[in-house]
């Protein structure tokens, strides 16, 4: 499909701007003036609408295809959430920071405060900051909070421990927050190796970052023991909330020893993924870390009036401009109050049931390196298919031709040829059965006609793309 | 000219106190299509097994550790425009840098060809 | 059981699935969680229908009262949003997709992001752009870290005229890194060049400025760029994208990395987010750039297509050695930015910027006509400018809020000795009538002696 710039015609206009009702000002000094207008599109409104509508049709999405992308929780995004977010569109965030301005933001601030309370209940924390703009941003914020805690206590800490099954963001966030990373291998039972963990712990460890259930979809039964060991060295426990969808109402990270959590609203709380964002990554902490939370902090007085603490001497400062990705929090808030207590519990139950159902049905056809009851996702390996020269990525491409978005296939790194499947609770049995049939067909075709998998996909606007060429030539912007 | 390998799959060929350094054919194959080679600055002084540079492919990134201590005296600038040379000729035209070796005794801690081939069977 | 929202199974289906799994109840699947660790309380209120939910959200919005007539900015701006932006970005194929890791079934998102990157490059006059960052403030921090990596140095100089929020975010990002942040105190609302010269040495990785700055002032950065490059450092400029319809591009001024907040490009105020951050740079810096980047390539049949490229920089491959911890971007907000820029178009953006400037110049003259009120800047401004009032600005702002006017941002909280100072923003949405109303209300407040 042509680029929008290739459809441009010099002099063509799109939207008409409002007329000016003030006199024309004199010109800016020469040195400051733009010499030539930026080469933006010049396209009529209808052509623009067709362009983006047709682009959108070149995407798979939750609303058009089953999207069992492991670790990403691609659940259905309720339409009413979009409507609620639009209600808040006209409110300027600076209003709350003006002297006397909080009075005119009680609705927005109250929503944030209540959402924080509900997330604190779900995760077993004492207070939540809404500021972090995504999961990884929450991790960085959380580890900085931990470092502020250690600094205040005069602890000398150097390391953050992560299991080798962790998301790549964990070590990357710990590094930005100033720590060296120690990676602990996974034991054959699918969790961080307890013996190696004990050996790795020392007085210089600032935090242990865990995803629980982990990226293999397994709940670590030793989690309390791990927390106790970490705490005995005054290391804090960080909970990566990427997999919270499995355990709502069943277990609270705060109850099993976690001190800091981030929550991915775009995963667990039904807000759309937007083709890669915006997400939202609020961070919850136990009491001991509240003094270090970012500013401005929202507080409520005895009469229920909300105000902002804009200057907090112990704070790590500011993670982002204002109050975080507010529009995403509106959606998450609406999601939580709509589903309610029973609804959230059911979400986790059905997410876990669906994952176990798929795991059980595909077990005869794919290797399952960690064969146990899983939580919300399961991780297969295409090692059996590899014998025929078929990689996990080839199975992924075959699925695309059959109308299914592939599972996650590059992750976790500790499983060779990983196929990580997370159906989520919103999929029907019929949709999963159709997916399972195609997965079985892929496994059979790998044996009978491997070339068919290597050639896929054939039905998309493009066939397999030359990623090497893209990385060597680095054409990242249209030059003409 | 004798060639020595590290456990991290770098090689060094030594002549007149200068070591040409690169990555093994095994490593180049494992990385897949190489898209970028980060070369050290000329004049950089480096210790044995410190990071000399990095190699990227589409789906992997790998640090290159110097097999010897010394000073970088020459780099293979052809790799800036044609990183694929490392795939095509990892142990010859795909060399990365020349290092003026400060201590040839360090070579004893490396593996000659036959030993490296044996080592590859274990990884 | 089937009364639940969005969990579609019937009792019968659940029984069938359980029998396949070999469990007698769903609860049995939670057996891996030791009983003593199970949640003892769960106090979320009971659920409700979507209709009751929407009504509840309407009640919450009502607690805000009516939205203000905005003469405030501070990083977020009240601009027009063409109707096509909501409608096209609201296509579910865009907003319910995820990161385009499988390019063949994600060409819509990938091509749109490539077009977005092109728009950002053309707007900023620079060579390369990524597919967006979280927001403008974090983009400043990411640009600083990019400069630290590219130069191998460990000092960042920040102009005090940069938004205080961006400066705080930068310091938070660098909180635990071995990096020194040096701030330069503004001089008459502009960068103090003598103070900069005094700190510009071989340790400095980058100088971060904002143009137009937090006070609204604009400068030609070209001489600054030469001075900074001579010291071997990079010039990072945070820019306001709408202003680039009128003002010379950062690339042309010699800026190495341009960043900014994309909210003004088609994203609603929405109490502060989501918006997106953009980052563009000279081509030599691309490997140090954080975040996702879309690149052009061809498929097996030679057909053009787009992929995420340079992924080897990113956390999912390089883990603790990644250029950044960023995983997601703000794809949908960047898409809104692209649709906005394409709808307004090449000439339209110049007209829009001009409209902002004309309105702000009118407001500036009108407000400066009030006895006792003067304008800080002798230098040019874009759509924001700073007023000196004859007394403290805060109580006046508080009073005008009660009349439904957000009159400006008092600087007392952000700069010492600035209690009488007020930054006023005037976008194309403010009518002459509203500007006159602001002037009359401000004059009335001053006359009735609240200060």
Strands C204-211 and C234-239: parallel
Q: A71 at the C interface (CB within 8 A)?
A: no
Q: A296 at the C interface (CB within 8 A)?
A: no
Q: B35 at the A interface (CB within 8 A)?
A: yes
Q: Do C265 and C340 touch, CB atoms closer than 8 A?
A: yes
Angle at C7 between CA C3 and CA C9, to 5 degrees: 85
Partner-chain contact C39 A405, CB within 8 Å:
no
Residues of C with CB under 8 A from a CB of B: 287, 311-313, 317-318, 321
Instruction: Determine the residue of chain B that is closest to C320 in CA distance.
Output: B61
Stated length of chain A: 480
C-alpha C323/C-alpha A248 separation (Å) is 34
Tell me which residue of C382, C376, C380, C355 sits closest to C420, measured CA to CA: C376
Cβ-based burial of A303 (10 A; exposed 0-12, middle 13-18, buried ≥19): exposed
Q: Assess if residue A107 is contained within a domain.
A: yes
Partner-chain contact C312 B56, CB within 8 Å:
yes
Tell me which residue of C349, B61, C55 sits closest to A37, measured CA to CA: C349
Partner-chain contact B59 C317, CB within 8 Å:
yes
Q: Do C1 and C14 touch, CB atoms closer than 8 A?
A: yes
From the CA of A225, how many Å to the nearest CA of chain C? Answer: 11
ipTM above 0.95, yes or no: yes
Cross-chain CB nearest to A40 (options C27, C122, C394): C122
* pLDDT per residue as tens digits for the range A300-342: 999 999 999 998 899 999 999 999 999 999 999 999 999 999 9
Q: Which two tokens stand for residue A211?
A: 């995803």
Q: Given pLDDT bands bounded at 50, 70 and 90, which one contains residue C3?
A: low
Q: Do C277 and C350 touch, CB atoms closer than 8 A?
A: no
C-alpha C20/C-alpha C226 separation (Å) is 71
| Neighboring chain C residues of A402 at a CB cutoff of 8 Å | none
Tell me which residue of C3, C40, C13, C8 sits closest to A339, measured CA to CA: C3
Question: Residue A299's domain is classified under what CATH number?
Answer: 3.40.640.10
Q: Assess if residue A52 is contained within a domain.
A: yes
From the CA of A26, how many Å to the nearest CA of chain B? Answer: 50
| Neighboring chain A residues of C142 at a CB cutoff of 8 Å | none
Tell me which residue of A453, A436, A444 sits closest to A389, measured CA to CA: A453
| Neighboring chain A residues of B88 at a CB cutoff of 8 Å | none
Q: Which two tokens stand for residue C378?
A: 């002798």
User: What pLDDT sits at residue C2?
Assistant: 46
The answer on A86 and A50 residing in a single domain is no
Q: B57 at the C interface (CB within 8 A)?
A: yes
From the CA of A206, how many Å to the nearest CA of chain C? Answer: 13
Cross-chain CB nearest to C305 (options A48, A134, A465): A465
User: What pLDDT sits at residue B123?
Assistant: 80
Domain C83-340 in the same topology as domain C69-77+347-447: no
| Neighboring chain A residues of C274 at a CB cutoff of 8 Å | 133, 277-278, 280, 325-328
The answer on A217 and A282 residing in a single domain is yes
User: What pLDDT sits at residue C114?
Assistant: 98
Q: Which two tokens stand for residue C231?
A: 């010291």
Q: B76 at the C interface (CB within 8 A)?
A: no
Residues 6+ apart with CB under 8 A from C433: A21
C-alpha C352/C-alpha C361 separation (Å) is 14
C-alpha B86/C-alpha B92 separation (Å) is 9
The answer on A234 and A130 residing in a single domain is yes
The answer on A149 and A279 residing in a single domain is yes
- Give yes or no for residue C16 having a pLDDT over 90: yes
Please give the residue range of the domain that contains residue A138: 81-337
Using the structure block, give the residue that is written with the tokens 């798979």: A60
Q: Do A59 and C108 touch, CB atoms closer than 8 A?
A: yes
Percent of chain C with pLDDT over 90: 92
Q: B56 at the A interface (CB within 8 A)?
A: yes
Partner-chain contact C105 A60, CB within 8 Å:
yes
Using the structure block, give the residue that is written with the tokens 């109402």: A249
Q: B63 at the C interface (CB within 8 A)?
A: yes
The answer on A198 and A50 residing in a single domain is no
Partner-chain contact A328 C96, CB within 8 Å:
no
> Number of C-alpha atoms within 13 angstroms, CB side, residue B19?
27
The answer on A270 and A132 residing in a single domain is yes
User: Of A100-104, A343-347, B26-30, where does mean pLDDT reach its minimum?
Assistant: B26-30
C-alpha A236/C-alpha C318 separation (Å) is 25
What is the C-alpha end-to-end distance of chain B, expressed in Å? Answer: 26
C-alpha A134/C-alpha A281 separation (Å) is 4
Residues 6+ apart with CB under 8 A from A39: A5, C122, C346
From chain B residues 10-49, the ones with a CB under 8 A of any chain C CB are 35-36, 38
Q: Given pLDDT bands bounded at 50, 70 and 90, which one contains residue C78?
A: very high
Partner-chain contact B59 A410, CB within 8 Å:
yes
* pLDDT per residue as tens digits for the range B69-95: 999 999 999 999 999 999 999 999 999
Q: Do C382 and C357 touch, CB atoms closer than 8 A?
A: yes
The pLDDT mean for chain B works out to 93
User: What pLDDT sits at residue C220?
Assistant: 95
Please state the φ and ψ torsions of residue A141, each to the nearest 5 degrees.
Answer: -60, -45
Strands A127-129 and A236-241: unpaired
List the CATH code of the domain at B3-122.
2.40.50.100
Give the CATH fold of the C69-77+347-447 domain.
3.90.1150
Instruction: Determine the residue of chain C that is closest to B35 in CA distance.
Output: C310
Q: Do C414 and C380 touch, CB atoms closer than 8 A?
A: no
The pLDDT mean for chain C works out to 95
* pLDDT per residue as tens digits for the range C130-188: 999 999 999 999 999 999 999 999 999 999 999 999 999 999 999 999 999 999 999 99
Tell me which residue of A95, A134, B100, A304 sits closest to C276, measured CA to CA: A134
Q: Assess if residue A368 is contained within a domain.
A: no
Q: B61 at the C interface (CB within 8 A)?
A: yes
Strands A306-309 and C293-298: unpaired
Partner-chain contact A28 C380, CB within 8 Å:
yes
Q: C68 at the A interface (CB within 8 A)?
A: yes
SS3 C154: coil
Residues of A with CB under 8 A from a CB of B: 410, 467-468, 471-472
Cβ-based burial of A153 (10 A; exposed 0-12, middle 13-18, buried ≥19): exposed
From the CA of A431, how many Å to the nearest CA of chain C? Answer: 11
Q: B84 at the A interface (CB within 8 A)?
A: yes
Sheet containing strand A205-211, edge to edge, reads A127-129, A283-285, A260-263, A236-241, A205-211, A159-163, A180-184
C-alpha A360/C-alpha C229 separation (Å) is 62
Q: Assess if residue A436 is contained within a domain.
A: no
C-alpha B60/C-alpha B30 separation (Å) is 10
From chain A residues 83-112, the ones with a CB under 8 A of any chain C CB are 83-85, 87-101, 103-108, 110-111
The answer on A175 and A54 residing in a single domain is no
> Number of C-alpha atoms within 13 angstroms, CB side, residue B84?
7
Q: Give C276-322 as a DSSP string.
A: -EEEEE-GGGGGG--S-EEEEEEBTTS-EEEEEE-GGGSHHHHGGGS
Partner-chain contact B59 C311, CB within 8 Å:
yes
Cross-chain CB nearest to A42 (options C272, C316, C345): C345
Q: Please give the tally of structural domains in chain A.
A: 2
- Give yes or no for residue A192 having a pLDDT over 60: yes
C-alpha B45/C-alpha B11 separation (Å) is 18
* pLDDT per residue as tens digits for the range C307-355: 999 888 777 777 777 778 888 789 999 999 999 999 999 999 999 999 9
Q: C404 at the A interface (CB within 8 A)?
A: no
Gyration radius of chain B's alpha carbons: 13
C-alpha C290/C-alpha C133 separation (Å) is 8
Domain boundary, last residue among A290, A306, A337: A337
- Give yes or no for residue A44 having a pLDDT over 90: yes
Q: What is the number of CB-based contacts under 8 A between chain A and chain B?
A: 15
Beta strands in chain B (DSSP E): 3-5, 10-15, 18-23, 34-38, 45-46, 51-57, 61-65, 70-75, 97-101, 111-112
C-alpha A251/C-alpha A124 separation (Å) is 9
Using the structure block, give the residue that is written with the tokens 């990002």: C173
Residue C20: its H or E element: helix C11-21
Partner-chain contact A460 C61, CB within 8 Å:
no
Q: C154 at the A interface (CB within 8 A)?
A: no
Kindly state the average pLDDT of the residues A70-87: 96
Please state the φ and ψ torsions of residue A381, each to the nearest 5 degrees.
Answer: -125, 140
Domain boundary, last residue among A337, A361, A382: A337
C-alpha C8/C-alpha A354 separation (Å) is 11
| pTM (predicted TM-score) | 0.96
| Neighboring chain A residues of B58 at a CB cutoff of 8 Å | 467-468, 471
* pLDDT per residue as tens digits for the range C356-403: 999 999 999 999 999 999 999 888 999 999 999 999 999 999 999 999
Percent of chain C with pLDDT over 70: 99
Percent of chain A with pLDDT over 70: 100
Q: For chain B, what are the domain ranges?
A: 3-122
From chain C residues 272-331, the ones with a CB under 8 A of any chain A CB are 272-274, 276, 283, 286, 292-301, 303-307, 309-310, 312, 314-322, 324-331
Q: Given pLDDT bands bounded at 50, 70 and 90, which one contains residue A480?
A: low
User: What pLDDT sits at residue A317?
Assistant: 95
CATH architecture of C83-340: 3-Layer(aba) Sandwich (3.40)
Stated length of chain C: 451
A398 or B31, higher pLDDT? A398
Q: Given pLDDT bands bounded at 50, 70 and 90, which one contains residue C1?
A: very low
* pLDDT per residue as tens digits for the range C114-130: 999 999 999 999 999 99
The answer on A49 and A135 residing in a single domain is no
The answer on A106 and A51 residing in a single domain is no
Q: A312 at the C interface (CB within 8 A)?
A: no
Q: Given pLDDT bands bounded at 50, 70 and 90, which one contains residue C450?
A: low
């Amino acid at each position: 499909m042509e680029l929008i710039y290739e459809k441009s015609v010099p002099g063509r206009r799109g939207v008409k701007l409002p007329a000016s009702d003030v006199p024309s000002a004199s010109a800016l000094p020469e040195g400051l003036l733009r010499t030539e207008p930026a080469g933006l599109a010049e396209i009529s409104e209808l052509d623009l609408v067709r362009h983006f509508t047709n682009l959108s049709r070149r995407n798979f999405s939750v609303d058009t295809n089953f999207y069992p992308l492991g670790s990403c929780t691609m659940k259905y995004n309720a339409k009413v959430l979009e409507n609620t977010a639009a209600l808040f569109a006209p409110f300027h965030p600076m209003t709350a920071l003006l002297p006397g301005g909080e009075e005119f933001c009680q609705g927005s601030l109250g929503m944030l405060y209540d959402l924080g309370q509900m997330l604190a209940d779900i995760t077993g924390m004492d207070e939540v900051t809404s500021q972090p703009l995504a999961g990884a941003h929450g991790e960085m914020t959380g580890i900085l909070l931990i470092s502020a805690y250690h600094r205040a206590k005069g602890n000398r800490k150097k390391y953050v421990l992560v299991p080798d099954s962790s998301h790549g963001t964990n070590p990357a966030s710990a590094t930005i927050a100033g720590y060296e990373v120690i990676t602990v291998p996974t034991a054959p039972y699918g969790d961080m190796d307890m013996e190696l963990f004990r050996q790795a712990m020392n007085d210089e460890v600032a935090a242990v970052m865990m995803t629980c259930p982990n990226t293999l979809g397994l709940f670590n039964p030793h989690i309390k023991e791990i927390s106790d060991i970490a705490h005995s060295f005054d290391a804090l426990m960080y909970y990566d909330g990427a997999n919270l969808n499995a355990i709502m109402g069943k277990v609270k990270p705060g109850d099993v020893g976690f001190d800091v959590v981030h929550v991915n609203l775009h995963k667990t709380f039904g807000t759309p993924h937007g083709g890669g964002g915006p997400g939202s990554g609020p961070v919850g902490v136990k009491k001991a870390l509240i003094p270090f939370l970012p500013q401005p902090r929202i507080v409520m007085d005895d009469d229920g009036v909300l105000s902002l603490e804009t200057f907090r001497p112990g704070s790590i400062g500011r993670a982002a401009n204002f109050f975080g990705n507010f529009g995403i929090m509106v959606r998450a808030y609406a999601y939580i109050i709509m589903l309610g207590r029973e609804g959230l519990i059911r979400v986790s139950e059905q997410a876990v049931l669906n994952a176990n159902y798929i795991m059980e049905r595909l077990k005869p056809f794919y290797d399952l390196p960690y064969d146990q009851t899983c939580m919300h996702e399961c991780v297969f390996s295409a090692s059996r298919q590899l014998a025929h020269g078929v990689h996990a990525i080839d199975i992924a491409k075959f699925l695309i031709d059959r109308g299914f978005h592939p599972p996650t296939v590059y992750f976790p790194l500790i499983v060779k040829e990983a196929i990580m499947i997370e159906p989520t609770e919103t999929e029907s049995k019929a949709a999963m059965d159709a997916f399972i049939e195609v997965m079985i067909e892929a496994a059979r075709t790998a044996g009978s006609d491997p070339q068919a998998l290597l050639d896929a996909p054939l039905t998309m606007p493009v066939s397999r793309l030359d990623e090497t060429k893209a990385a060597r030539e680095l054409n990242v912007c249209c030059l003409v | 000219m004798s060639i020595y390998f590290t456990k991290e799959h770098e090689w060094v060929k030594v002549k007149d106190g200068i070591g040409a350094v690169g990555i093994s054919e095994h490593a180049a194959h494992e990385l897949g299509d190489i898209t970028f080679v980060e070369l050290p600055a000329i004049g950089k002084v480096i210790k044995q097994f410190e990071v000399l540079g990095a190699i990227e492919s589409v789906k992997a990134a790998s640090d290159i550790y110097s097999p010897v201590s010394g000073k970088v005296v020459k780099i293979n600038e052809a790799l800036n425009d044609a990183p694929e040379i490392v795939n095509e000729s990892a142990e010859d035209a795909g060399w990365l840098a020349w290092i003026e070796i400060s201590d040839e005794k360090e070579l004893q801690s490396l593996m000659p060809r036959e030993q490296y081939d044996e080592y590859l069977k274990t990884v | 059981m089937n009364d639940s929202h969005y969990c579609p199974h019937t009792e019968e289906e659940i029984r069938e699935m359980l029998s396949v799994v070999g469990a007698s109840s769903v609860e049995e699947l939670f057996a891996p969680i030791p009983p003593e660790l199970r949640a003892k309380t769960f106090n979320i209120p009971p659920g409700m229908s979507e209709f009751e939910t929407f009504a509840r959200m309407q009640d919450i919005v009502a607690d805000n009262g009516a939205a203000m007539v905005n003469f405030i900015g501070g990083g977020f701006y009240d601009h027009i949003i063409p109707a096509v932006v909501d409608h096209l970005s609201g296509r579910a194929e865009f907003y319910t997709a995820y990161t385009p890791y499988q390019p063949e079934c994600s060409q819509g998102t990938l091509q749109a992001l490539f077009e977005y990157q092109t728009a950002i490059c053309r707007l900023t006059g620079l060579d390369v752009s990524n597919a967006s960052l979280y927001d403008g403030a974090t983009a400043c921090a990411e640009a600083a870290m990019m400069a630290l990596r590219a130069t191998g140095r460990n000092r960042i100089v920040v102009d005090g005229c940069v938004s205080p929020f961006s400066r705080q975010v930068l310091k938070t990002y660098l909180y635990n890194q071995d990096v020194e942040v040096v701030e330069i105190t503004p001089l008459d609302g502009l960068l103090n060049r003598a103070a900069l010269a005094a700190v510009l040495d071989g340790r400095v990785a980058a100088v971060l400025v904002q143009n137009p700055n937090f006070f609204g002032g604009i400068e030609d950065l070209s001489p600054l760029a030469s001075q900074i490059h001579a010291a071997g450092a990079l010039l990072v400029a945070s820019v306001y994208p709408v202003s680039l319809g009128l003002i010379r591009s950062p690339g042309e001024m010699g800026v190495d990395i341009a960043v900014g907040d994309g909210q003004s490009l088609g994203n609603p105020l929405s109490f502060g987010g989501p918006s997106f951050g953009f980052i563009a740079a000279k081509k030599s810096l691309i490997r140090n750039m954080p975040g996702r980047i879309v690149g052009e390539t061809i498929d097996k049949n030679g057909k053009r297509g787009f992929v995420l490229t340079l992924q080897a920089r990113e956390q999912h491959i390089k883990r603790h050695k990644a250029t950044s911890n960023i995983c997601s971007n703000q794809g949908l907000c960047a898409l809104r930015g692209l649709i906005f820029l394409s709808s307004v178009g090449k000439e339209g953006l110049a007209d829009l910027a001009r409209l902002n400037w004309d309105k702000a110049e009118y407001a500036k003259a009108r407000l400066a006509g009030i006895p006792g009120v003067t304008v800080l800047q002798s230098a040019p401004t874009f759509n924001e400018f700073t007023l000196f009032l004859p007394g403290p600005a805060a109580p006046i702002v508080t009073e005008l809020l009660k009349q439904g006017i957000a009159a400006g941002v008092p600087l007392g909280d952000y700069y010492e000795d600035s209690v009488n100072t007020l930054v006023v923003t005037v976008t194309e949405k403010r009518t002459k009538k509203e500007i006159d109303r602001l002037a009359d209300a401000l004059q009335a407040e001053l006359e009735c002696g609240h200060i």
